[in-house]
Amino acid sequence: MPLCKGLPLGRGTRTTFGLRKLRVLAAVLLSLGIGAVIVGMVLPAYKSPQAFTASGPNVTFTADRNYWIDYYLIPPIDEGTPITLTLVSSKPGTTWVSLAPFDLQTESISGQPVVNEMLGPNQTGLVYFGRSTKSAVYSLKVSSWNSTYTIRIESRWSRFFDFRYGIVFGAGLIPASFLLFYYDGIVEKRDKMFEEAIRKAKGEKD
């Protein structure tokens, strides 16, 4: 009845199948990690003509609150790239706009502003043609005094700027996949030693 001794073989088959699943999971995580890093590096670097439009402020002015400041972030623009800014205000002389390079780490202005203008007493609009002063993210600040506005920025930047977080995501998946590969190797060696011990024990019995 030698076939009755096949139970350990079945256990070994299930173990191998489990190891294979672990290796597949590690390979999937590694592929996703590498893909995320590539996406996080390539897509944010691709720049094309873009436009940003905003209206505000979305508040109600009162006697105690007669002004409001809105902040917006524009994705990185290369130095010397043409920028067009169009501003329309509901009242003359009540809106101040500033567009300047911004450092995300220090959260502060990091260079000479492209635009830093207050509408004149009889002015309800502004159209400005200029160029970016440095390669950086740009901070757009609009201050309003008892008035509303609509503003539009046209230039070249990446619409995939937020994909930069893919680098962080991928940087976490890649080490995790290597840990799974390492653990899989340890388990595989342990099971081989266990199966070898079983075979030796059977040989001594025979």
Residue 10 pLDDT greater than 50, yes or no: no
Q: Would you call 189 exposed, middle or buried from its count of C-beta atoms within 10 A (0-12, 13-18, 19+)?
A: exposed
Residue 5 pLDDT greater than 50, yes or no: no
How many Å apart are CA 88 and CA 119, to the nearest integer?
10
The 10s digit of each residue's pLDDT in 96-144 is 999 999 999 999 999 999 999 999 999 999 999 999 999 999 999 999 9
Q: In what order do the strands lie in the sheet with 125-131?
A: 48-56, 149-157, 82-89, 125-131
| Contact criterion met (CB below 8 Å) for 122 and 92 | yes
The 10s digit of each residue's pLDDT in 15-60 is 554 456 777 787 787 777 777 777 777 777 888 999 999 999 999 9
When pLDDT is averaged across residues 168-179 and rounded to a whole number, the result is 74
- pLDDT tier for residue 167 given thresholds of 50, 70 and 90: low
- Of all residues in the chain, the percent with pLDDT exceeding 90 is 51
Q: Would the pTM count as exceeding 0.85?
A: no
Strand stretches in the chain, DSSP E: 48-56, 67-77, 82-89, 95-103, 108-109, 115-118, 125-131, 136-145, 149-157
